[in-house]
Amino acid sequence: MAIHTIENTAKKLVLTVQDYSLFSYRAVTDLFRPPVYWPEFLIQSDIIGFGSLPIVILSALSTGSVLALQSSATLAAFGATAVTGQFVSIIMIRELGPVLTGIMVAGRNSSSMASELGSMVVTEQIDAMRALGVDPVRKLVTPRIYATICMLFFLTIVADACSILGGGMVTVLMNHQNGTQYFSMAWEHLRLPDIIQGLVKPLFYGYILSSIGCFYGMRTTGGTEGVGSSTIKAVVTSSVLILFVDFLLTQVLLTLFSGWM
């Protein structure tokens, strides 16, 4: 009985991965065949990009400030408080900026994609769209995926800048250190590989959180309860996948740039 259950669960998992792969492949390649829905791309860019700006700025400011607080206390023990700027900028740009932004945007947008598309599925709006001769993947999913990838890239840059600024404010106003020193350390020790790492990651996270959100939304069954369930699955899966892929990506990028660092 237990083996039977494990077998069924494994089969379901493999089937879900297969469905997701086919779904996301279709959604991504639809951009290269007409019709392409550019107005939807712009609308989604506005919703995802500008809509997420407040939470991204707030979380980045807060994280940068906390990092500066925590690190300066530890660095003071070694008489190295001068490197607080370097510490904050490298950690944020390489790692925390993309991951934090990815998870914040996943919480906001992956869930909204799953619930919006899920509601459309249970109220037969997706079927109606197909019945009217329009491909819902092409019209609803493809613009969301590309808008998220594009906007997460810029949101990450904003988050990096805000977190360094937050760290600077704490360094100057609370730790009473030299601001010029903080910002020059933050800037001077940055290398091209650090920036490349920080800008490559959001491209992957944007793809993950949007494709997972749309995938679970389009697979919704079972009415309003199903919509709730899809939303939870979308947020949990995309957040976990972002963290997991971050580990893999970091390993790959560190290996690639090992000669530069």
Cis, bond preceding 35 (omega within 30 deg of 0): yes
Q: Could you tell me which residues come within 8 angstroms of residue 214 by beta carbon, excluding any fewer than 6 positions away?
A: 23, 27, 113, 114, 117, 140, 141, 144, 145
Within residues 24-53, the interface with another protein by CB under 8 A covers: 35
Q: Give how many residues touch another protein by CB under 8 A.
A: 15
Specify the residue, 8 or 21, whose C-beta has the smaller distance to another protein. Answer: 8
Residue 222 interacts with another protein (CB under 8 A): yes or no: no
Contacts of 66 (CB under 8 A, 6+ apart): none
CB of 133 to another protein, least distance (A): 3
Nearer to another protein, 46 or 124 (CB): 124
Helix (H, G, I), strand (E, B) or coil at 36: coil
Q: Which is nearer to another protein, 188 or 225 (CB)?
A: 225
Reported as type and span, the H/E element at residue 175 is none
Least Cβ distance, residue 12 to another protein (angstroms): 12
Q: What tokens does 178 get? A: 């030299």
**Residue whose CB is less far from another protein, 47 or 103:** 47
Nearer to another protein (CB atom), residue 119 or residue 148 = 119
Q: How far is the CB of 135 from another protein (least distance, A)?
A: 6
- What's the min distance (Å) between Cβ of 58 and another protein? 28
Token pair listed for 116? 């919006």
Q: For the CB of residue 36, give the shortest distance to another protein in the complex, in Å.
A: 12
Q: Based on CB atoms, which residue is closest to another protein, 35 or 179?
A: 35
33 or 176: CB nearest another protein:
33
CB 197 within 8 A of CB 253: yes
In angstroms, the CA 100 to CA 92 distance is 9
In the block, tokens 């949007």 appear at: 210
Kindly give the interhelix angle for 111-122 and 192-218, rounded to the nearest 10 degrees.
20
- Least Cβ distance, residue 125 to another protein (angstroms): 5
The token pair at 133 is 């001769």
> Which helix (H) or strand (E) segment is 258 a member of?
none
Site for another protein in 75-134 (CB under 8 A): 119-120, 123-125, 127-134
Task: Find out whether 201 and 6 touch, Cβ atoms under 8 Å.
Answer: no
CB of 69 to another protein, least distance (A): 44
Q: Contact letters (x/-) for another protein, 135-164, by CB under 8 A? A: x-----------------------------
Name the site residues for another protein (rule: CB under 8 A). Answer: 35, 119-120, 123-125, 127-135
